[in-house]
Copies of this chain bind each other. A is one copy, B any other.
Amino acid sequence: MGDKIRLEEEDKGMLESVLGHEAFSFLIWSASNKVPDEFRPKTKDLGVQDGLHKILEGSDWNYAIFWQVSNSKSGKSALVWGDGHYKEPKGSEVHENRGENVRKRMVLQKLHSWFKGHEEGNLQLKTDLVSDLEMFYLTSRFYLFPFDKSSSPSQSFNTSRSVWVSDAESCEEQYQSRSFLAKLSGFQTLVLVPVKKGVLEIGSFKSIPEDHGFATSVKTLFNECHPKGLPKIFGQELSLGGGSGGGAKAGPISINFSPKVEDELDFGGESYGIQSNRVYSGNSSNGHRIDPGMNHVIGGVLNSQPIISALDQSNQDSNLMDRKPRKRGRKPANGREEPLNHVEAERQRREKLNQRFYALRAVVPNISKMDKASLLGDAISYITDLQSKIRIMEAEKEVNIRPEVDFMARKDDSVIRVSCPLDDHPVGRVIKTFREHELVVNDTNVSTTENGKVIHTFLFQALGDAAAAEQLKEKLDSAFPE
């Protein structure tokens, strides 16, 4: 691996200084291992350009990128560049020194040559000078986020949680390896909105406070309004922000409740010191079971096993002593002081368990009763449901695209016949539409292109009138829903 990329030492320095170290090494790695070859873009022109435009127009947002789910042959999945749009803020004049600008252009050209073949459109800049925003946007095109690596977009998609950070430091964290260019650009707000087929990333130079309506309306729009036409409702929904939408789809995971950012950053369930006490004291004067989960850090991401360890420190401080004497349970009856430590340990064990229960409540939908046992029962049946769902989907995927191949070697020539169910064939719906309209196809042809596409061409006589043609066109459009 890495045979293609040969770098002079000075080029390396230039790239690294322009892109930042982390972005540089990511892109080198990506290009060397031909990662984008594996995760090819699938469908081009996703019909989301309009939507991206609408988001930016008349707003304080500066760019929007649609990261699209794509899978490799080896079964891995990643978020790859789907489409994007950006606009410079109105009054901004880019005044930079020449040398810097020259280097930027060179870096962009280098990147472009590395990833050639995937982006046929050569880089065309809006102005002579390359702004920081432009630089960020154009390099993002060459990015991708594998699902088996942790990244903000992939996590947002996985958990189907929106991310909204509106200060520079949080942005820097979220941008991860792209943070160098993001910091140069000066982004103050970054929003990640998971949608059906990927993640929407929207950024702004200004600090925009969280607007839950905006996120949900964007989400519902990108989940439903794909079929090219009718972007009427779009601007409307966007401007009034959240009036309509109301995602009745009831995703399994509850979205972040409040503008508190730490919901997404702090790995929930393991912060004992202050938070726990707050819950405790808050409850002890209030009755003990008014859904304490709401008060708590809500389960967070819990993305992996190692979380289970790191506790048992950070709680030996002041807040340990002023614990309320606990209204419930056994009355003190404290003769000795030897078991006092034991009592505290047991307290912590209980609290840890309850933490987990709250976290479990957060990830299991359709909790029947708030009861602990019921919760476990629900969780179990939910898990089995998910398992069977996955089992079914996997079996379907395997059985789907597996045509029969007959090979016949004859004397002078050979014949290969590939037979495939009409429903699984890309032109299946088209052919069915033909049959419905009783169209007679005069000629048909199949060809392949250089960039890995199969093109079917059907030729038939003109239709009776324009109306019929229009009807057929609509029918064809609706044949591929969404």
Contacts and interface: CB of A to CB of B under 8 A. Distances in A.
Contacts of A472: 407
Contact of A380 (B69, B302, B389, B482): B302
A409 interface: yes
A380 B359 contact: yes
A289 interface: no
A344 B302 CA distance: 37
Most buried by B among A196, A363, A414, A452: A414
Interface residues of A, number: 121
Nearest to A398: B197
A459 B360 contact: no
Contact of A416 (B368, B393, B430): B430
A422 B453 contact: yes
B423 A73 contact: yes
Interface in A30-76: 40, 42-45, 68-71, 73
A405 interface: yes
A425 B45 CA distance: 18
A455 B421 contact: no
A461 B364 contact: no
7 contacts: A305-B377, A308-B377, A360-B379, A401-B424, A415-B457, A418-B458, A422-B452
Interface of A: 40, 42-45, 68-71, 73, 77, 147, 157-160, 196-198, 252-253, 269, 299, 301-305, 307-308, 349, 352-353, 356-357, 359-360, 363-364, 368-369, 372-374, 376-384, 386-405, 407, 409-428, 430-431, 442, 444, 446, 448, 452-463, 466, 469, 472-473, 476-477, 479-480, 482
| 6 nearest CB pairs, A to B | A158-B388, A356-B376, A69-B395, A386-B386, A420-B426, A418-B456
